[in-house]
Structure 1
Amino acid sequence: MTLSNALDHYRLLGRSGLRVSRLSLGTMTFGSDWGWGADDAEARRIFDTYVDRGGNFVDTSVNYTNGAAERILGGLLEGRRDRIVVATKFTMARDPGDPNSGGNHRMNMVRSVEASLRQLDTDRIELFYLHGWDFTTPPDEVMRGLDDLVRAGKVLYVGICNTPAWRVAQMQALADLRGWSPFVALQIEYSLVERTVEHELIPMAEALGLGVLPWSPLGGGILTGKYSRADLSQASEASVSASRKGVIASSGHMTERALELVEVVRAVAEETGGTPSQVALAWTLLNPAVVAPIMGARTLAQAEENLGALALTLTGEQRARLDEASAPSAIFPHRFMARPMAQRLVFGGAQVERRR
């Protein structure tokens, strides 16, 4: 493994000066409250392995496994708190029947921060995300509320997840114009089975200084190669499933096309001597906008396998095969403006060098 690929070779997080590892350790699998997570002992083994190899970037949320994930992480941080960059999130409701226990408004924002500080047993959060856009809270309320938390020292940096690109750009502009804390990170689903974010969200992140943190880089497990056509399902679930297969079924990614893509991933894995999971992670890391994919593991063996992706090298030909097999359909206006007629009208038939 070269230095540039090691877990302790750090990257800057977006427009900040914060240094983070090239793989982030996700903790949604810490705790068994949702039926399929790691118990305390296995979570400790996973965490210790990640940190001992130089990893410093851990991702959680106030609601993961009903708060157990943060409580477990809080115990694991003891004696090592100052070297770990902790990222957590707010938005999701934690009290059924209480309309203000979820959403992006100030009340839930403050309650969630205080709950996370208690559960993590810490006095600050390095990176605090809005977990998902609620389509109701005014953008200035969100950005001013986040800035107040930064000024109070409870939060050091802010980020955003699962929100339309135009809304993120609007809020980033508000922060810049009013001198509020800007977003430095964008957490979005991104993998070989979910590339539609390449249309708007990833280019926006590059332009506005947000480091991209892909969640579910293994497509929820589909890209590991462990599912077959017998698992194809159209299930739709409103709650968190008690099985991983149920979670995947409700994601919409368990499709015939995805299983065909897995065959390409498996073939590349055989050529490299790696595993399908490592190929999928290594492909995600090739995108220059990506800072650190979030790896989730329920066992130490899975964590070890994921970390091995940092040592895997894909050739240009292998990457091209993966790109072709997973390419998303073009959307408007990109589809229209890429037509030869539109290009002639824009550039007058001249050859113009294009830069990123």
Structure 2
Amino acid sequence: MSDITLVTGCAGFIGMHAAERLLARGDRVAGIDNLNAYYDPALKKARLARLQPHAHFSFEKIDVADRAAMADLFARIQPSRVLHLAAQAGVRYSIDAPDDYTDSNLLGFAHVLQGCRAARVDHLVFASSSSVYGGNTNVPFAERDAVDHPISYYAATKKANEVMAHSYAHLYGLPTTGLRFFTVYGPWGRPDMALFKFTRALLAGEPIDVYGHGQLVRDFTYIDDIVEGVLRVLDKPAASDAAHNPAAPGPGTSSAPYRILNIGNNQPTLLIDYITALESALGITARKNMLPIQPGDMHTTAADMSALQAWVGFAPSTPVQEGVARFVDWYRGFYKP
């Protein structure tokens, strides 16, 4: 086994930031990405260009759904740790193109698990999502809550990832940790996310579509906080929970080396207040098309952060106003509108 950390989806939003932090502290990173056209590949290539000058970084264009390519990759590089962030993202798109989610999020994740098993990696950390909480109205969401009622196919694939990972932890002793991300935003973010769409529209003098009449609640979590949590978790492999009770098993831990952890800001914010922070950062008042909630969307997300805090001594805390302003600074510098 090498001392390489494999980062899947390294040209993605979280993947690029995580790889940068790993490289900055001296780790060796092998990155893969399929650079697909779900959103502008030019942005993905620009992110990748930030990583490629590092002497300890290597990149291969590989789709995780390609079984032979993934098996060959693991056999060649023998990573010691895997940070699996490659996935088909987007709740609404999963309604229109479910096959993309089956290929990337289910088949692709199976290939990652099998590669980790074959290479006997020390720790697999993978991206889950707050969307797994589905129709749950008990907020803030805690890892002990049941997640058996997803309201989008995207959420269903992420729930499936969690139970697939547990089977490998149980059967093969593979330490696995799933991180349920809560609405990540910040510089280099995804163009399909609200902040990106709103910023582009406001700078172009166009109205914005505000779903749920602005009353949707999200636990917006700044990218730097996400990456800090990810790296701390990556450095602490999942372990068997000595307090695990098979008569009343908790969903977040196990007798196997397995954990599920929320990673959110614990500062639930109304969508309309998020927009207000953006208006302030841009100095522009938005013209708003108030619309009903979209199919598959959750009304409220809010993270109970006590488990992550107890496990690695960290919980995100960047205020939305500060994070949005940093995004606007990046957007103006990158796109020069």
Q: TM-score, normalised by structure 1?
A: 0.33
Structure with more of its chain in helix, by fraction = 1
How does the TM-score come out when normalised to structure 2?
A: 0.35
The structure with the largest alpha-carbon Rg is 1
